[in-house]
Amino acid sequence: MNSIQLFNTEPFINALKAFFEELKVPVDYLADEPASPADVLGERFKATNEAHKLIADVSLGMVNDAIFDGTETFKNLAQVKKLKADYDGLLLFGVTLTKRKDNLPITRSYLAEITRAFNRAFPYTPVTIIFKYSNLISFANSERIKYKQEWREGEKVGKVTMLKDVETTKPHAAHLKILAGLAIDPNKIDSFLLLYNYWQSVFSLQALNNQFYADLQDWFYYASQNIKLPFKPDYINEKENIKNFWFAYWQEPCFVGL
């Protein structure tokens, strides 16, 4: 994933274009210049909301069946906002965030709240968000659930899944592996629905957990064969000592999974 480092050196929109080009995903970019959060979210934007205050600007793209065929369908954001029925397309938002007061970290709850706001602002089209802040990027996706009442239009927002804090200068191998998994074979995935279902499987919480623990297990097997601990009680053999060390290490509360 060579394009990841471009998020640290290039304008956000250029890095986004390079990223999706590397994934071989066609995107209809509705503007080269970013929009304000108020213009994009409309009445869903709350100027006093601490999470919403972090949004600096928003870039917008669309993936639908037409763009897979090389045809653009929307000219601007206003046309997307006019959708009044479920639409077979995926909205891609590039959201730049400002720093929090006192340089506090951007938390998952802030990203989730912003993600829900975007999904509620566009009830007829699924949404994926790429956040950029400092030298980090995060990817967020939300379940879209049909209302039980047949008379209600659009979809309600479900669980938010995200890949958080991907370093753009020196990205972690596990993050790169997951992001590389978003790449498609255009001969097999040539429609919005196929892309959406595939990405849902990649971004599902279970898939991320399975990948994380598989990588962790591989690292444990490697480390247990190669590391030598400086201290070992006489009554514990070397392999048992290493196992106890790793168990204690990964139980530390400072460690957070993907």
* DSSP codes, 221-249: HHHHHH---S---TTS-HHHHHHHHHHHH
Whether the per-residue pLDDT at 14 is higher than 90: the answer is yes
pLDDT of residue 251: 44
Question: What pLDDT sits at residue 233?
Answer: 56
Which among 178, 102, 107, 101 is positioned nearest to 136, based on CA atoms?
107
> Which range is least confidently modeled, 87-91, 116-120, 161-165, 216-220?
216-220
Residue 226: its pLDDT value, please?
60
pLDDT number for residue 168 = 94
In this prediction, residue 219 carries a pLDDT of: 56
- Compute the average pLDDT of residues 160-178: 87
Please give the Cα distance from 105 to 99 (Å, whole number): 8
Does 240 score more than 70 pLDDT? Answer: no
pLDDT of residue 151: 37
Q: Is the pLDDT of residue 216 over 80?
A: no
For the cut 50, the answer to whether the pLDDT of residue 54 exceeds it is yes
- pLDDT-based confidence at 250, cuts 50/70/90? very low
Tokens of 81: 């906002």
Predicted local confidence at residue 101, as pLDDT: 86
Residue 204 has pLDDT above 80, yes or no: no
DSSP state of 3: G
Give the DSSP H/E element, type plus range, for residue 95.
strand 89-97
**Higher per-residue confidence, 106 vs 226:** 106
Whole-number percent of the chain with pLDDT over 90:
45
Is residue 173 very low, low, confident or very high in pLDDT (cuts 50, 70, 90)?
Answer: confident
Name the residue type at position 34: P
Query: What pLDDT sits at residue 1?
Result: 81
pLDDT at 71: 87
Mean pLDDT of 88-115: 92
| Residue 82 near residue 118, CB atoms below 8 Å | no
Determine the Cα–Cα distance for residues 104 and 54; give it in Å rounded to an integer: 12
DSSP letter string over 23-58? TT---EES-SS-B-HHHHHGGG--TT-TTGGGEEEE
pLDDT of residue 52: 97
Q: What local confidence, expressed as pLDDT, does residue 238 receive?
A: 58
Q: Round to whole Å and give the CA distance between 192 and 184.
A: 12
pLDDT, greater one: 114 or 206: 114
| Per-chain mean pLDDT for the chain | 80
The model's pLDDT over 108-139, given as tens digits with 9 standing for 90+, comes to: 999 999 999 998 899 888 889 999 999 999 99
Residue entry with tokens 């979210």: 41
Q: What is the pTM of this model?
A: 0.76
